[in-house]
């Protein structure tokens, strides 16, 4: 889906125009991936709840600045993952992609 692997370049946002195997277009319409920001937002909320729960329950309710620094650090570290997975999830849910078994072995 993307031109480079996740860890080859820190943050490469360029996507291939089509799938190399089945020729499925990765951008069904202009501006399609604006909706992927909602999937990314859901990831961020989930991370916030998990990290906040761990900090609150295991470290005796630290100060507000500890929460903020920790959450910003964790979300900043997983941001490239969230970017790529939110686009992939959004494409598969709303892009009209259906599984075709003839491409399964390629």
CA distance linking residue 85 with residue 18, whole number of Å: 17
Residue 86: Cβ-neighbour burial (10 angstroms; 0-12, 13-18, 19+): buried
Could you give the residue ranges of the DSSP H alpha helices within the chain?
Answer: 36-58, 64-94
pLDDT of residue 39: 92
Domain assignment of residue 41, given as a range: 37-98
69 within a domain of the structure (yes/no): yes
Mean pLDDT for the stretch of residues 1-12: 72
pLDDT of residue 11: 65
pLDDT of residue 76: 86
Looking at the structure of the chain, the number of domains it has is: 1
**Tens-place pLDDT, residues 39-91:** 999 998 998 888 888 887 888 878 888 888 988 888 888 888 888 889 888 88
60 within a domain of the structure (yes/no): yes
Non-local CB neighbours of 61 within 8 Å, separated by 6+ positions:
55
* CA 63 to the chain's CA centroid: 29
């Amino acid at each position: 889906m993307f031109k480079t692997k996740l860890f080859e370049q820190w943050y490469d946002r360029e996507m291939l125009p089509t799938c190399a195997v089945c020729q499925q277009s990765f951008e069904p319409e202009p501006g399609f991936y604006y909706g992927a920001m909602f999937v990314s937002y859901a990831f961020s909320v989930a991370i916030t709840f998990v990290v906040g729960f761990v900090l609150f329950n295991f470290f005796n309710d630290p100060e507000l600045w500890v929460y903020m620094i920790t959450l910003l650090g964790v979300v900043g570290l997983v941001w490239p993952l969230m970017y790529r997975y939110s686009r992939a999830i959004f494409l598969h849910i709303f892009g009209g992609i259906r599984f075709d078994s003839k491409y399964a072995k390629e």
